[in-house]
A and B are shown apart, each in its own frame.
Chain A
């Protein structure tokens, strides 16, 4: 566990990984088990009385189907929010947090290159997020049989989970890159959080109006749920966009940290 920077980072973050995974699994399980009470005629009728624009804005357009329900609850709101918060926290800590705490100094004085530190920290971020994503995936697959969710294939749940992982990875690597550029925890944290909030509302609001629909293409959320992976399976193009964006942020982090003074 102590041989390399990334295993050490994971080892130190093990408590966080476990806690977030348990929380994510718990929330997912809770919502999935709640589905049978919504999957009823009376609930569908009640939903018809809501204004359509509101339903669309919150993605509640199809709340009674298994895919619609999980798409607007677990995958629509809670899991992405929790995953993004977890990812931004990890991404911020990866460089900026370590630098502000004064601990990056000692590491970089050892025979490891700055590029290697960034890459290994990004790897640790990806592994941590994968574990948390597997917790969501596992919880929903486990609830599938008992909660009348068998209309969903395991493959569809896996596809939605993969999109979830890539969305979180995008924001995590963004925070990492901002931290590598500025060396400031608050800048990395607030920068990535602002992009997340703007991205979320940009995606849901912009797509309702033809004139602003193109704006949604700038939002990571468009590539997360735009192709409805829970219904349509893995969206290779969308997933690639998120993966390329993450890789780009890591590359920016490598270049930025390589060019500047550390801890100055």
Chain B
């Protein structure tokens, strides 16, 4: 990786406001801060991004995490010049998406958050057309990706299910092997097997030196591939962390059933375990950070079952807010 330190994506002080437009799609509308009135009494325009600074380096897999409506899609659409920033600077490969235009987009593969292609044509027809717009993508390439994801290319797109449309979206994003993949909620609608296939495709792209920027509201899927993650909420980038750091912060609900009743206060002194409650033979609590001391404490007893849930993103955000003295507390 000779360009390891080159920045592929660079956002500096990016603010994005949408007009007070009633035609605003609801998925974005609920994302916005409540309307507040300015000094003149006129409602201020809703703010989707409020001063975001972000850097993604070449060859990196960057996970962009946040609840629905936090500003993930807005950020992604800024990279493709579908939206323009109200304030601040957006750079992709060091270029302004607006002035660099088509030449810059040639180097990007984009998966929209909602793949919509409402035509009678077949998936093969659409993918061939989109390939032509990129200067031609070989038919073999399209077919091998379709085979890999299990997509019937002859089916008319209009009749495809959400999952199959997502496959069409993924194929068109990957088919020209772009230097940068910008993927908005890539796994939504895919079954677990295909999610795994997708993550493999991301890893392969990364191995070829490609940069991947993917958004998600599910921590576990980002955790599996990403090198670093940015966490966004209400238009603020709350934190940028390596996945390892994130993992140590993640809060997991745990539930352990033991073979016998537990003595009072058996787990009260275990580090990382909060809110431990014992009901007969069952222990419930929230585990943060390394699980080591908890597992060793549990191992002293007979364990019948052990459950650690997927880390909850909302709880993760909460730990960041608590740390910051509730500056953005919702």
A113 to B101: give the CA distance in the assembly, Å: 7
Task: Give bound CA distance, A3 to B133, whole Å.
Answer: 7
The docked-state distance in angstroms from the alpha carbon of A8 to that of B172 is: 17
* Number of A positions contacting B (CB below 8 A): 26
Contacts of B18 in A (CB 8 A): 261, 264
Residue of A101, A102, A261 near B83 (CB, 8 A) is A261
One of B113-121, B144-152, B261-269, B284-292 at the interface: B113-121
Contact of A52 with B by CB under 8 A: no
Task: Decide if A103 touches B116 in the complex (CB within 8 Å).
Answer: yes
- State how many angstroms separate the Cβ of B101 from the closest Cβ of chain A: 6
Report whether A109 and B110 are in contact in the complex, using a CB–CB cutoff of 8 Å.
yes
Decide: A12 and B82 in contact? CB cutoff 8 A. Answer: no
Given A109-B80, A111-B134, A264-B83, decide whether A12 and B103 contact each other with a Cβ distance below 8 A: no
Tell me whether B132 is interfacial, beta carbon within 8 Å: yes
List chain A residues, Cβ under 8 A from B128. 2
Which residues of chain B come closer than 8 Å to A54, judged between CB atoms? none
CA distance A220 to B25 in the complex (A): 36
Residues from chain B with Cβ under 8 Å of A262 in the complex:
82-83
Partner of B105, one of A4, A105, A110: A110
- A109 engages B108 (CB within 8 Å): yes
Q: Give the distance in Å from the alpha carbon of A107 to the alpha carbon of B132 in the complex.
A: 12
Whether A211 sits at the interface, judged by CB under 8 Å, is: no
- Secondary structure type dominating chain B contacts: loop
Instruction: Specify the chain B residue showing the minimal Cβ separation from A104.
Output: B82
The one of A101, A112, A263 that contacts B133, using a Cβ cutoff of 8 Å: A112
A2-B125, A109-B108, A113-B101 given; A103·B118 CB < 8 A:
yes
B45-97, CB < 8 A from A: 77, 80-84
Interface string of B134-169 (1 = CB under 8 A from A): 110000000000000000000000000000000001
CA A2 – CA B126 in complex, angstroms?
A: 8
A110 x B119 contact (CB < 8 A):
no
CA distance A103 to B172 in the complex (A): 14
B189 on the A face (CB < 8 A): no
Structural contact, A105 and B112, CB atoms closer than 8 A: yes
- The answer on a CB contact under 8 Å between B112 and A12 is no
Is the beta-carbon distance between A110 and B84 smaller than 8 angstroms?
no
A/B interface sample: 25 pairs, CB < 8 A:
A4-B132, A8-B129, A11-B121, A102-B112, A102-B116, A103-B116, A103-B118, A105-B82, A105-B116, A106-B110, A108-B81, A109-B105, A109-B110, A109-B112, A110-B102, A110-B105, A111-B102, A113-B102, A261-B82, A261-B83, A261-B84, A263-B25, A263-B77, A264-B21, A264-B28
Binding site for A on B (CB under 8 A): 18-19, 21, 23-25, 28, 77, 80-84, 101-103, 105-106, 108, 110, 112, 114-121, 125, 128-130, 132-135, 169, 172
**Beyond A105-B112, A108-B82, 9 extra complex contacts between A and B, CB < 8 Å:** A5-B133, A102-B114, A106-B169, A108-B80, A109-B105, A110-B102, A112-B102, A264-B21, A264-B28
